[in-house]
Amino acid sequence: MIRLADVLIAHTDTTAAEAFASRLSHNGYHAVIAESLDQAIGAVRSGHLDLIIIGRTAMAPVAFADAFRSQPDCADIPIVFAATTVDAGMVQDALAAGIDDVITWTCDDVELFARLRPLVRLATMHAELDQRDLVARAMGVMAAPSAGQADAAHPSILVVGNDADGMAAIFQDIARIVSTQNLYDAEGLLEKQNFDAAILCAGGEGAAFLAFSSQVRNNPRLFNLPLVMVLEKPETMPAAYRHGVSRAIVRPIALDLFRASVMTLVRRQQLRWAIRSALVDSLKGPTKDDLTGLYGRDFLDRYLESRLNIALTHQRHLAVVFFAIPNIDGVRSQFGDDAAQHLTQQLGQWIAGLLRAEDVTAVYGKNEFCVVLPDTPLIEAEVVMHRIAGVLAYTDFAVREVYQPIKVWVQVGCTDARSGDTLDGLVARARAKMD
């Protein structure tokens, strides 16, 4: 059975741990249970792990987390504390210790998986960094081996809504705050600059803020942006999480808990920026296609074979998408090689720009691009494929020395890794679906 994530639950209450593992299993997560630190470390060394949830153990939670992360093969695994109740002191201690989140065992499934999914994706980013580094080094490129540590010294936070000024005052001593009262201005600000988090004060405009949250989640550049929504009523929390909110906070606000929760998300986002920068470090020299600036075919073949082996070994999702733009040849015939090359460059950059940092975009052949989406189910990959194809098809491209807009038509094909697949078989199946 394909897994969305591999999770370890460290908890001495086996009955409670098994009940929690069952909740995870019903949502596509595979969970194992450890009662001690040695068992937890052993589970990592015997297989793949995306996330560890620490409950009650013989050690204090922070001490357990510190000892776990002191092991090199455990250092990048996101850690969540789980408790019966959560208070400000617990979240502040977790923030100081570098813990990724603190949850209650009894939080409902909507909130639980809204909070776990970004951490699983963070684990995917770490794994992707390792994979690209291995392939790049085999090709003679010394890429950054790790993302280093996130530096939350000067975070940037966007605050939106009627209470924007009041919310901004809570964080002005620890962050650079940009505030606006309306969503239209907020959208423009998000397009112009990078933020480490956004706080949305929904007030009486809940529907508009929910739509805004969904819009942010569907934007590839903002896909991971932490969104904290301040609500008036607790019954609106599930809707907020379903629309992509990272954390829903109900008034009256406990200020210390609120600050610590937001800063935990800020640190996570800054870590993502660091990983994103490190990922790009593998794109140079022999790994790079000179014309487009994307990964080249040699890198793609090596990387995809490695990714396929991981997907089959650990029962993980892996999707592959192909884009072919046949009328590049028509542009070449009518306007020359330079025009065709400039169009090809733009197409490659547009495709890459509409994807997440952990997705690989490479040149496959003449007028053809391949995208690899790790840990992504086929149905999600197909949505991405059609969205990108639609954007390309409806864009008027401006090409050097061509004094008219250029339109393209796009052929697409998509598949996922299946038991017994080989590299050639996987690629052939995806390309055979191009229409």
Q: Can you give the CATH number for the domain in which 44 is found?
A: 3.40.50.2300
Q: What is the pLDDT of residue 166?
A: 84
In a shared domain, residues 351 and 374: yes
Q: pLDDT tens digits for 221-263?
A: 898 999 999 999 999 999 999 999 999 999 999 999 999 999 9
What's the mean pLDDT when you consider all of the chain?
A: 93
Cα–Cα distance measured from residue 417 to residue 307, given in angstroms and rounded to the nearest whole number:
10
Res 154: pLDDT:
84
- % of the chain exceeding 70 in pLDDT: 98
Tell me if 93 is assigned to some domain.
yes
Question: pLDDT-based confidence at 403, cuts 50/70/90?
Answer: confident
pTM: predicted TM-score of the whole model, two decimal places: 0.92
Given 280, 299, 318, the domain boundary residue is 280
Report if residue 125 sits inside a domain: no
Region 364-374 average pLDDT? 97
State the pLDDT at residue 168. 82
Task: Spell out the residues 6+ positions from residue 242 whose beta carbon is closer than 8 angstroms to its own.
Answer: 110, 114
- Is 164 found in the same domain as 300? no
Q: Cα-atom radius of gyration of the chain, to the nearest Å?
A: 23
Backbone angles phi, psi at 277, to 5 degrees: -65, -40
Element containing residue 205 per DSSP (H, E)? none
Residue 184 lies in a domain: yes
* In a domain? residue 425: yes
Sequence-distant (6+) residues with CB within 8 A of 118 are 224, 246, 268
For the chain, what is the domain count? 3
Residue-number span of the structural domain to which 362 is assigned: 288-432
Q: Are residues 395 and 297 in the same domain?
A: yes
Predicted local distance difference test score (pLDDT) of residue 142:
86
User: How many angstroms separate the CA atoms of 429 and 117, rounded?
Assistant: 29
pLDDT for 148 beyond 70: no
Report the alpha-carbon distance of residue 138 to residue 141 in Å, rounded: 7
Q: Looking at the structure, do residues 380 and 250 belong to the same domain, yes or no?
A: no
Contacts of 171 (CB under 8 A, 6+ apart): 157, 159, 177, 259, 262
Last residue within a domain, chosen from 230, 262, 280: 280
Q: What is the pLDDT of residue 147?
A: 59
Q: Do 276 and 314 sit in the same domain of this protein?
A: no
Same domain, 267 and 337: no
CATH number at residue 401: 3.30.70.270
Domain final residue, candidates 254, 280, 306: 280
pLDDT interval class at 172 (50, 70, 90): confident
Q: Is the domain of 274 the same as that of 182?
A: yes
pLDDT of residue 151: 53
* Domain-located, residue 139: no
